[in-house]
Amino acid sequence: MAIQPIRLFGDPVLRTPAVPVADFDKELQRLVADLTDTMLHAPGAGLAAPQIGVGLRVFTWHVEGETGHLVNPTLDLSDEVQDGPEGCLSLPDLTFDCKRALSVVAKGFNMYGDPVAVEGSEMLARAIQHETDHLDGVLFIDRLDREARKAAMKAIREADWFGAPPTVRVSPHPTNGLGL
């Protein structure tokens, strides 16, 4: 469909909780296609709707050759934990070790409104948790320990992209006043 600009750290849409999708229509299908195209073009392991300025609970992922999407997700996390490198398309070129659940069962809907469940571990579990955090206005740097978060904020302030005015565009998707 269309590659969209990715919102960067500092854009308020990244800190605003997204609202549940109510209409499973052509616009939602176009949003999923735009998210998928943008994620694959970046390239990234996942992309949430707020990262392209749309305040809806939708994300895509591309892990180990598998591409998918989830609408209105809920997560059941394992007690086992993994600790490993994590990055974000909204914080370009920054990677920090982040603790996440080792496995996840994510339930929600596909773009047509059919219920789906996705089970994943390691990288897929990390991507699903990361993107669901975006839907809640949480960035992975919020999950770092104090020392790592301090280093992350220093790296962000020193990044070439930091401080640039956010790209603001009107979404081609109906958002009922939520998101831009």
> Residues with catalytic annotation?
131
CB 180 within 8 A of CB 169: yes
CB 21 within 8 A of CB 57: yes
How far apart CA 135 and CA 35 sit, in angstroms, is: 14
- Which single residue is written with the structure tokens 């070439």? 160
94 φ, ψ (degrees, to nearest 5)? -115, 130
Name every residue whose Cβ is closer than 8 Å to that of residue 144 and which is 6 or more positions away in sequence.
Answer: 96, 98, 152
